[in-house]
Chains A and B, each alone.
Chain A
Amino acid sequence: MKIEAPIEYRELDHTADVAIEVDGAVEEEVYARAALALGQMLAGGGPLTQAVERTLEPAGHDRVSQLIGLLRDVLAAFYDERLILSAIDVRLGPPFAATGWFCHWDPARHGEGVDVKAVTYGGARFEPKGGGWSARLIFDI
């Protein structure tokens, strides 16, 4: 199921960094929404096109580590190639994998983006919620 930005996510209060919460009817949707939330933060409200396609095969041995692995791969694409995630199709597998569509970072259009430096395990959750699923993450900025 391919999901495209923009998506809705909740930003939670955190003293020093950014905490977010995303919901989904199924697990794949939660992974996808969390990854797209990261893309939207990096874009800072700038436009998100789908110019480049990549296969992502993140490491991880449970839901939380897979979620963090996926978002770390999204962040690595930004730091390695200046690519921002704009759409994603997550497959639970095994193996756990995703296809991501990215746009090129443009300082003129994405200059207000958040400088997300890391996806942390601190307080990370991935759990059932109201018949669906929910995840919470803290980004180091």
Chain B
Amino acid sequence: MKLEQLDDQRWEIAREGGMRVPGIVYASRAMMQELRDEPALGQVANVAHLPGIVRASLAMPDIHWGYGFPIGGVAAVDEAEGVVSPGGVGYDINCGVRLMTTKLVVDELRPRLRALAEALQRDIPAGVGERSRAVGTLDAGETRRVLQNGAAWAVERGFGCAGDLERTEEGGRLEWAEPERVSETALRRGGDQVGTLGSGNHFIEIDRVDEIFDAGRARAFGLFSGQLCLMIHSGSRGLGYQVCDDNLAAMDAAMARYGIAVPDRQLACAPIGSPEGSRYLGAMAAAANFAWANRQTMMGLAQRALARVLAISDAELGAALLWDVCHNIAKRERHVVDGREQPLLVHRKGATRAFGPGAAELPAAYRDVGQPVMIPGDMGRASYVLCGTARAMSDTFGSSCHGAGRVLGRRAALRQAKGRRIDLELRAQGIEVLSRAVKTLAEEMPEAYKDVSQVVDVMHDAGITTKVARLKPVAVVKG
């Protein structure tokens, strides 16, 4: 593989073999030293083989080894001639992040942080096999209504308010969802999971606004120094996984019929307009709506938990959704390629939409400043609020990174954590951490991730997303 440095933040993987476009990787020199021997770079090249891909196979600086696509990958394909690949979306369809702001100041609540975390852990089920308590088990008909209506389904049931919808990507609902494309197995997997966090790297985190970099945008986003915010990272749970599985198998079997050859079976794909492609996109959009309903429900539960523990009114809490982004999705968007605006299907696998100022898709409150982009880090260091730019629109199909990106495998993390109490180490730093599974804390310890500040700096220096605020975790609930 021929890798050439283009500038301080970008590297090009030259076209060779069956690659239809080059690969472009955003990374600092130090990051690239670590990446050189990783399978992830080969995956960037593999994605460049997809029929209909335009301009480049992109990778953000949180790139790491995924299935088929690397995590942190972006691929836009021509909507008329291109393919859709479930591997370019990932298993956890519409895994994403939402950030809720409040009127509260963290430093006035430090003695209550553990009680707040315990209430969040109690009210929002997390971990293997946990079922929804607040919503219960939905039958297939009601689950289909979730798949059709997305976040609005949760708002109608008293979780959050209508104003939350306009501060959610796509209004919390992809209108081209086709719930009838979702299998009975997927419906069963999701039926008892609305309002559940999941496990692994999913979390609910209470943050303190630690530093403001851009006062104007911070004001527009409702952020102030010292503020208590709440971040939720979760997705479409078992339902999304099943949708991905069902369609990967169908596409794996169908590729030969369409004369498509890809270097990795996990890149299984089908023409967008084919029966297999249409079926997947309809089901994927439905699963995305499920994820928005799930995060909306959890935010509603979190609001109630905070108000109850602190014995304050909703008005005193002042909870407001800043923004909700998805970072595992394929979206129909229009972008300029070779000087011509054209309809594309943009796959973002561990990458966040980051539209710049003026984008018609943004709500009025953010249209002049650009789209908020939330980047969770690890549970010990920081998370960031960024803002999309015009440069993102021209260079990355309006996309940015999605997180810190793992640097240690889970086994390596467990080895490094042996004999340590990660929860006590973090408490000594003023961070309360709760998890039902002891192993999760070791697997998710801060050293297992890249320093999110370095990841964010690459995007900032490249002009793709600019820094608005840094958040520091003060209480974390893991699955």
A residues sitting closer than 8 Å to B (CB atoms) are: 11, 13-18, 59, 61, 64-65, 68-69, 72, 76, 79-80, 82, 105, 107, 110-115, 117-124, 138, 140-141
Contact = CB atoms under 8 A, between A and B. Distances in A.
B253 interface: yes
A79 B248 contact: no
Would you call the interface of chain A mostly helix, strand, loop, or mixed?
mixed
Given A15-B409, A115-B479, A122-B67, A76 B265 contact: no
B127 A115 contact: yes
Contact of A140 (B38, B128, B241, B409): B241
Interface stretch (B274-282, B379-387, B435-443): B435-443
Given A79-B188, A115-B198, 10 more contacts: A11-B411, A68-B249, A79-B189, A114-B128, A117-B200, A117-B238, A121-B268, A122-B87, A123-B264, A140-B241
A76 B186 CA distance: 10
Interface string B72-112: 00000000000000010001100000000000000000000
A68 to B, nearest CB: 8
A140 B189 contact: no
B244 interface: yes
A16 B412 CA distance: 11
Interface of B: 38-40, 64-68, 71, 87, 91-92, 127-129, 185, 188-189, 198-200, 238, 241-242, 244-245, 248-249, 252-253, 264-266, 268, 406-412, 436-439, 479
16 contacts: A14-B410, A14-B411, A15-B408, A15-B409, A16-B66, A18-B410, A111-B128, A115-B200, A117-B91, A117-B200, A118-B91, A120-B266, A121-B264, A123-B39, A138-B67, A141-B410
A26 to B, nearest CB: 24
Contacts of A64: 265
Given A82-B129, A121-B268, A112 B411 contact: no
Contacts of A141: 199-200, 410
Contacts of B40: 15
Contacts of B185: 76, 80
Q: Which of A64, A114, A118 has the most CB of B within 10 A?
A: A118
Contacts of A122: 66-68, 87, 264-266
Nearest to B71: A16
A102 B407 CA distance: 36
B67 A140 contact: yes
Contacts of A111: 128, 436-437
Nearest to B200: A141
Nearest to A119: B245
B438 A112 contact: yes
A112 B87 CA distance: 29
Given A118-B244, A122-B266, A15 B65 contact: yes
Of A13, A15, A65, A115, the most chain B CB neighbours within 10 A belong to A15
A86 to B, nearest CB: 17
A93 to B, nearest CB: 18
A64 B67 CA distance: 15
A140 B91 contact: yes
A79 B238 contact: yes
A114 B188 CA distance: 21
B239 to A, nearest CB: 10
A17 B68 CA distance: 14
B137 to A, nearest CB: 13
B395 to A, nearest CB: 26
Nearest to B202: A115
Contacts of B241: 117-118, 140
A13 B129 contact: no
A105 B129 contact: yes
Contacts of A79: 188-189, 238, 242
A69 to B, nearest CB: 7
B331 to A, nearest CB: 22
Contacts of B200: 115, 117, 141
B376 to A, nearest CB: 15
Contacts of A105: 129
A115 B409 contact: no
Contacts of B248: 121
A121 B71 CA distance: 15
Contact of B199 (A72, A115, A121): A115
B129 A14 contact: no
B406 A65 contact: no
B238 A17 contact: no
Contacts of B68: 121-122
A119 B437 CA distance: 22
B265 A124 contact: yes
Contacts of B198: 115
Contacts of B268: 121
Contacts of A13: 409, 411-412
A72 B245 contact: yes
A121 B252 contact: yes
Contacts of A121: 67-68, 248, 252, 264-266, 268
B33 to A, nearest CB: 16
Given A112-B438, A112-B439, A115-B128, A17 B410 contact: yes
A89 B188 CA distance: 27
Contacts of B189: 79-80
